[in-house]
Structure 1
Amino acid sequence: MEQRTLDQNEYVQRTLKNKQEFSLKKFFLQWEWLLILVFLLVIVINTSLSPYFLNAAGLRDATMVFLDKGFIVFPMVMIMILRDIDISVGSTVALSSVIMATLYNTLNVPMGAALVICLLVGALCGLINGLLIVKFKELSAVIVTLATMILYRGIAYVILEDQASGNFPEWFSFFGWGSVAGIPFILIAFTILAIVFTLLLHKTTFGRQVYAMGNNDTASRFSGVRVDRIKVIVFTLAGLMAAITAIFLASRMGSTRPNVAMMYELDVIAMVALGGISTAGGKGRMIGAIIAVFIIGYLQYGLGLINIPSQTMLIIIGLLLLVSVAVPKMKVNWKFKKSGSKRKLE
């Protein structure tokens, strides 16, 4: 009997040791490594298609062009981990930028104050989304944000109609086109916020609660997690990041209109899904979504150099979105079948 107990203890110790051991194979089979390979493939293909792709100035300018929507990716990662979605972010960008421009050009509000109000408007839009979602639990986030997507852009059209508003002060263009020591300012801002959101998601109690809610919302609620509060905070962050996008976009364009940031939600969701964030919730890492931002950004830049129509770009992004959703499912099904065959052999 004693020998049997020792054998069981030895088996448990070996099992625990095996679980803790580092596996090089598992490390390199992570989704992020596949994304790095895809990124390198995009670089190689674009270089072979256009001799102008590997140009330092061109790559720098391309980064300034596509990186504005990358700010929305950070909170969208959290939203999709929560098994929700926000398709109103493009409209929030439009409304925030339109109100900022109108305050400055029509009401003579100082540009600094207009920037602050722009951020507050974006955060308010996200807050409204979050409050509606937690208040009307019978409605999905898709329905709620679809309604606010129409509402926010409609308000932008009421304010400016089909007109453009610009004439911003000269220093405002620094946000979109400025550089610090040769590094684009937008890339510096993106890097800082990427670090902040990565630490928030992976190294804090708040982040652990987001993952717990994504895996089981009801269990998290009964465990004492303030589910509604966290959802409201995450959607408010999405609105705030959309307002930051509005500032960089308006700065780069030199003006704004109610129809800016059209289809931004498609690009952002594609980046997040391609980054390995599970549509079923509870899985995924911020670094994958960050890599996906550059994959889709440089893919669009390279296709633009060879005059690929925007409709074709949408088809390619749609295919990437399908692949990014289907491949993890195929991997899970393959593992399930493999484990099932092993059980039959046993």
Structure 2
Amino acid sequence: MVRIEAVGMCHTDIAVRDGEMPSPLPAVLGHEGAGRVVAAGAAVTDVAVGDPVVLTYLSCGQCRECVGGAPASCAQLGGLCFGGGRPDGSHALCGHGGEMLHDRFFGQSSFAAYAVANRRNIVKVRSDAPLRLLGPLGCGIMTGAGAVWNALDVKPGSSVAVFGAGAVGLSGVMAARVAGATTIIAVDIVPSRLALALEMGATHVIDGGKEDVVAAIRAIVAEGTDFALDTTGREAVVRNAMLALRQRGVAALVAAAQPELRLDMFNLLAGCKTICGVIEGGGAAHLLIPRILDLYMAGRFPFDRMVRFYAPDQINEALRDSISGDAVKPVIRFDDDVLEAALRAGAP
């Protein structure tokens, strides 16, 4: 059991709320929690009460992908993270009137003062880090950074185009800089986000609402970019990402705003290009999260510049600001008075 100090809001939470992704409702969502362990089962021996942790996706630990060191590709991830309860159909939560609530969202449901998690989806973190900032490492930030490092495997001196300069895209920009890319192009339609991208490591920015994106990219890199990261999931944007790639270029897709995409197959085949899907950054959260955190503490991955804090009763405001683009990464913070109120209401 984790006492939540802060939890990020991700577009996946919004998509589930709006019925755009399959997960049963009503439910307690939230999947970017960070806090301290307040209780642990007898079988948990490597995490103790008081340890600071980040909550992330839940994996089975038994499929080929998990055993092979890539739990982000777990064969059971869909059911474990979106099933709305434990695998046996039971639940950890109920409403004030005793009615059943779907829970275990990503194995945590951390839009709450307390969350019950599995040992497999908590990552113990260094004690000198500001815990209130760390929740977004569990999904959005890890997704962008991991896609660049794991799926694309960006090399020093390469060129990268990042489509969408939200939390995931900006994390991809910072990761590309860490990887040594020398041309990093951020594409968005929000001027403030493009300005922030330049401050976080982008060498060039393109306003997709005002420019021919493919032409603008090829004006910067004539042969096209080595890599592309799409964080929008929108057909027109994904198409531009592919068209802007050089011969044998690689694009990673991390969002699913549209369930189906139409692509220029001749360009894909003649260009010998690769398009891959990536979830949760690929690889393993227990490796990715500490790496990003160490970079942050060294001043090389300033993800804190994306964060805006909200109180729990401002959660709808946080949602609206996320959708409008006014806030890059909203984080709901549970201060001591909120936690004390939860205790009085009957939390453990």
| TM-score normalized with structure 1 length | 0.28
Relative CO higher for 1 or 2, CA cutoff 8 Å, sep ≥ 6?
A: 1
| TM-score normalized with structure 2 length | 0.28
Rg larger in structure: 1
Q: Going by fraction, where is strand more abundant, 1 or 2?
A: 2
Q: Going by fraction, where is helix more abundant, 1 or 2?
A: 1
